[in-house]
Amino acid sequence: MLNEIKNKRKMKKKGFTLIELIVVIAILAALSALAFPSVSHFVEQANNVADAQHARSICSVLLCSHVLYGNVTAENPWGEKHGYVYVDDDELRVSSMAVAKILEENGFIENVGKATMRSGKELTYPFSSNGGGKGFSKIRCQSHNLWSAYQVTIRVDDNKNVRFSYTATTGNGSSTTKDNGAATEAFSRLCQGRSSGDTEMGESK
């Protein structure tokens, strides 16, 4: 009889009560709620840096190509005196075939001659891992909170020197979108360049 009582007591000591489990779950949930914003913040910061690195790389390859061959053009389909490379979550848009070819040579775009034409004018390359035979972009805007699209604006002065500036927006880029001041300032700071002021992103009306 004594052995049976002892065994029952041991069995009772092995498990947790329902209240204890609920307390543990509540503590874990509270810790997760506290940790998640911090993790999300660090992920967004990493995405911001990745976008800035891509923008700087785009500027570097365009500048090198222009120094060697003088083939960077400051023109766009909308008749304005600047070129651009626009990047959002879904696609990359380029102001001219000359710029697109330089990006293809440096691994940003594939099948440059098979671009999708936006508004019948603008060279557009959807983000894809393989493209399915069409022209496609290998980079996309990775940020979501501080900005959701960015643009490198290209200008060539009278002495044939290339100048770059940066713009960012919190819009989705589905239509003409002017830059967002806070997003542009933050993006330009990361790129270590100057903002594009009131330059419109992508298509201009």
pLDDT in tens, 92-125: 999 999 999 999 999 999 999 999 888 878 999 9
- Tell me the pLDDT tens digit for each residue of 70-99: 989 888 888 888 999 999 999 999 999 999
How many CA within 13 A on the CB side of residue 98? Answer: 16
191 falls within a domain: yes
Q: Is the pTM of this model over 0.95?
A: no
- Domain span including residue 151: 39-201
32 falls within a domain: no
Mean pLDDT of the chain: 82
The pLDDT of residue 39 is: 67
pLDDT category, 29, cuts 50, 70, 90? confident
User: What total number of domains does the chain contain?
Assistant: 1
14 falls within a domain: no
7 falls within a domain: no
